[in-house]
Structure 1
Amino acid sequence: MDKPTAAVLMDGAFPIGAELEDWIALLKPRVMSLVVFTGAIGVLLAPGHLNPVLAITAVLCIAAGAGASGAINMWYDRDIDAIMRRTAGRPIPAGRMAPGSALGFGVVLACASVLMMAIATNLVAAGGLALSICFYVFIYTMWLKRRTPQNIVIGGAAGAFPPVIGWAAVTGTVDLVPLLMFAIIFFWTPPHFWSMSLYASEDYGRAGVPMLPVVSGPRITRAWVLAYTLALVPVAISPWAVGFVGIDYLILALILSAMFVYHALRVLMDGQGPGGTSLTNNAPARKAFRFSLMHLFLLFAALALCRLVG
């Protein structure tokens, strides 16, 4: 019996053919990497002291919670994942894993991560982690994603929770600074995700997902990419504005913001050929998507470095 057949013998059982890399793929490790990083920055910058073992445990709980959300998302979206080229190779649509196994894995991991966070740190951090998981699964995945082109604007809040959770793990409170970090990720998410959706719009259209380029067209999407990138600038410098970091962070944040705006302008101009004709190869959108990842990483790294050194 071949692996795909063995993997789908029973919808609710652990598949015989599933490999370790399939279980790892369920966690969406590339998405998780930024979640872990921003969560760790929240832990690092929070006032007070947390035992290093407990601090590492808190970050691992954030990672597990994000992975659990990804696994449940893959279970729920298995029908559209099978239609889209960029997701057809995922474990469930490829037939390497039974849907029920992915769901069970995600639910167990979600419950375990919240419980461990409560034991290792405090109920505020555990509650924040539970809220982020529920927001991603129920609000974004099950409610918004297939119903509105604003899905990523509202649903993107789920990915903004990690620094708040990390901060709360140390302090037991939710303060202004972690909320500013939340806002940075919240405003960063639309231009990041819409840049990707511009060159993946055919996939989304085929699957019937109402992403902004599918519903409103590429031209409107490019304008919104620029609008949110511009709106991100004052949010990115807000930690300096409230006195949490010094002028060194302001300079770095403005440089990174200017580079992001440059990429967003390139995305906007990509759809304007000579004489107003439509001409695009989506190369600027791909570059903007890749830069957005670097932008968020460097911005949070600058926040940590300037705060700790300052």
Structure 2
Amino acid sequence: MSLISEGANVGRPGGAQVVESGRFDAALHEPSIAEVGDYIALLKPRVMSLVVFTALVGLAVAPGSLHPITAFTALLCIAVGAGASGALNMWYDADIDKVMTRTARRPVPAGKVKPGEALAFGLTLSGFSVVTLGLLVNWAAAALLAFTIFFYAVIYTIWLKRSTPQNIVIGGAAGAFPPMIGWAAVTGSLSLEPIILFAIIFFWTPPHFWALAIYKKSDYGRAGVPMLPNVAGDAHTRLQILLYTLILTPLGSAPWLLGYASALYGAVSVVAGAGMIVLALQVYREVSPADRACRHLFAFSILYLFLLYAVLLVDRGWGGLIARVAA
């Protein structure tokens, strides 16, 4: 459930297909050329894998027990919900995806999946994932999943992405909910620890995505999406990247500082956090060419988040998962 105009006229979802109503109506009656791989692409598999991983960590570190089949069902529903969000995002953003090199080959702008098919696919998966999670796991987790899908598809995609350069900041909440959903699947409630896991991803998202936005700003400019570099300039964006990184790094160590994780997690979070700060400083100072520094930060930020959650899983959750399976 990843994320994202001022003065932009991007039109209706579906891009060029809606320019001439006659041509659009005729296209509705043409047979679909979509293949299984195109529908898988609608699910945004890369984003889904990160969602499932962070949800697994939330589920694994939560107190209490959950039958292995129930735990698998919870993760499957979270994965399907994440995929539903991706399909709804691609349905609505087909017009701007078509003019961006990074997204032009997605199934809807490429003409492989019709907008209506993507919408129906996303809505069907949304309903299935939420209802199944509620009936087979618990309704607290299902409510959080439903809110996450709504937040990503409506609050972020339809509203924030095209209206404010703070789209990533606010919209980042959508990608931060999965560990909370995993926790709620076990406990039926929330507490401070899953909120910290939420906060880590929430404050990780701006430096991660703004680094990408700097070297892809021409794409966003063509699409009319008000990303921060296009609206406020590179210098301001580099400063914001540094500030958010300085907030992120102590948050990344919070599970250790608050006694939720061991010294191993603490060491990894401190070292990885130092790496994030060094790279953010390079972006801020333009020590290396801007694109290169931003690419390095973007790539390392993915490793940073994976390391934190992977070590937390090994440190806190892996033994608990094995015990639950054995039971």
Q: TM-score, normalised by structure 1?
A: 0.92
Query: Paired residues, what number?
Result: 297
- TM-superposed CA distance for 1:56, in Å, is 0.8
Q: 1:152 to 1:159 in 2, by over 3 A?
A: same
CA-to-aligned-CA distance 1:289-308 (integer Å, 9 cap, x gap): 11111110110111122224
Q: 2:312 aligns with which of 289, 303, 307?
A: 303
Alignment partner of 1:139 is 2:155? yes
Q: 1:146 to 1:305 in 2, by over 3 A?
A: same
Q: 1:13 to 1:155 in 2, by over 3 A?
A: farther
Of 207-216 and 84-93, the range deviating more from structure 2: 84-93
- TM-superposed CA distance for 1:14, in Å, is 9.2
**Aligned Cα RMSD in Å?**
1.8
Q: 1:268 to 1:218 in 2, by over 3 A?
A: same
Tell me which residue corresponds to 1:275: none
Tell me which residue corresponds to 1:229: 245
CA-to-aligned-CA distance 1:109-131 (integer Å, 9 cap, x gap): 00100011001210100000001
- TM-superposed CA distance for 1:10, in Å, is 6.4
Tell me which residue corresponds to 1:206: 222
CA-to-aligned-CA distance 1:257-276 (integer Å, 9 cap, x gap): 00111111111122x6xxxx
- TM-superposed CA distance for 1:187, in Å, is 0.4
Alignment partner of 1:291 is 2:300? yes
Q: Distance in 2 between matches of 1:54 and 1:43?
A: 11
| 1:249 and 1:302 in contact (8 A); partners too | yes
- TM-superposed CA distance for 1:104, in Å, is 0.2
Letter in 1 for 2:90: M
Q: 1:110 to 1:246 in 2, by over 3 A?
A: same
Q: 1:164 aligns with which of 180, 189, 194?
A: 180
Tell me which residue corresponds to 1:87: 103
Which protein, 1 or 2, shows the higher relative CO under an 8 Å CA cutoff with sep ≥ 6? 2
Q: TM-score, normalised by structure 2?
A: 0.87
Letter in 2 for 1:33: S
Letter in 2 for 1:115: V
Tell me which residue corresponds to 2:168: 152
* Structure 1 residues 63-78: aligned runs within 5 Å: 63-78=79-94
| 1:18 and 1:97 in contact (8 A); partners too | yes
Q: Secondary structure at the match of 1:17?
A: coil
Tell me which residue corresponds to 1:31: 47
Of 137-146 and 12-21, the range deviating more from structure 2: 12-21
Tell me which residue corresponds to 1:54: 70
Q: Distance in 2 between matches of 1:171 and 1:13?
A: 48
| 2:60 and 2:317 in contact (8 A); partners too | no
Q: Distance in 1 between matches of 2:318 and 2:79?
A: 27
Q: 1:283 to 1:126 in 2, by over 3 A?
A: same
- TM-superposed CA distance for 1:242, in Å, is 2.1
Q: 1:113 aligns with which of 123, 129, 147?
A: 129
Q: 1:140 to 1:106 in 2, by over 3 A?
A: same
Q: Which consecutive unaligned segments of at least 5 residues does structure 1 have?
A: 273-278
| 1:72 and 1:137 in contact (8 A); partners too | yes
| 1:12 and 1:101 in contact (8 A); partners too | no
Percent identity reads 54
- TM-superposed CA distance for 1:227, in Å, is 0.8
Q: Distance in 2 between matches of 1:113 and 1:285?
A: 36
Of 141-150 and 14-23, the range deviating more from structure 2: 14-23
Tell me which residue corresponds to 2:208: 192
Letter in 2 for 1:180: I
Q: Distance in 1 between matches of 2:29 and 2:188?
A: 39
Q: 1:40 aligns with which of 31, 52, 56?
A: 56
Q: Distance in 2 between matches of 1:243 and 1:10?
A: 62
